[in-house]
Amino acid sequence: MNIDFTQSAESIITDLFKDLELATVERKHPFRFCYLATTEVDNVPAQRTVVLRKVLPSKEMLIYTDYRSSKLQEIKQQPQVSILFYHSEKQLQIRFQAIAKIHHQDTRCLIAWNKLNDHNKKDYQIELPPGSDLPNLEEELSHNPSFDSNFFSMISLNPINIDVLQLSRMGHKRLVGQLENGEWIARRVVP
């Protein structure tokens, strides 16, 4: 299904966010896994796959991560990030520029932590920080439940720009926009 570019830009963007919301509850939805780009400390771009956890009515998007991960240091240095979604069946790409905010041990973060099941909590109770060397490749990761939510954090992404690309044999279509005073101002552009 292609986007109907005869709709208003606001309608298109509203529909896209509905699809993103769906990805947070449908485990096999193509938008569930997305790509977060940050800027490393030495100004080199860094990308990684993340899981979209929630889309709020304000269009704020939430992802979870280990507080010790390098992406948090990168966000602290440069909170402007990019997040990319791709739906292979629809041949649809959505790219946002967003301002990232880190939540750690605050009320929002602890509410999210309390909703996680025990299996998912283990991902944030590993003794070694992400990126640590493992001396033995077959060594099991050591989980420590006493860490509780110490290393659990949430990144909220507040989109400021959107770039939508619909690929099609009938001709590609593209829409770009920015958020101004709570409303999306968008226009069609050449793909």
pLDDT at 1 over 70: no
Strands (E), 28-90: 33-39, 45-51, 54-55, 61-66, 80-87
State the Cα–Cα distance between residues 61 and 1, nearest whole angstrom: 24
Which domains are seen in the chain, by residue range?
A: 9-129+142-189 (2.30.110.10)
Please state, in angstroms and rounded to a whole number, the distance separating the CA atoms of residues 74 and 76.
Answer: 5
CB 60 within 8 A of CB 156: yes
What pTM does this model have? 0.92
Average pLDDT over residues 141-147: 82
For residues 157 and 41, which has the higher predicted lDDT (pLDDT)? 157
28-38 confidence digits (pLDDT tens): 999 999 999 99
Residue 138 has pLDDT above 80, yes or no: no
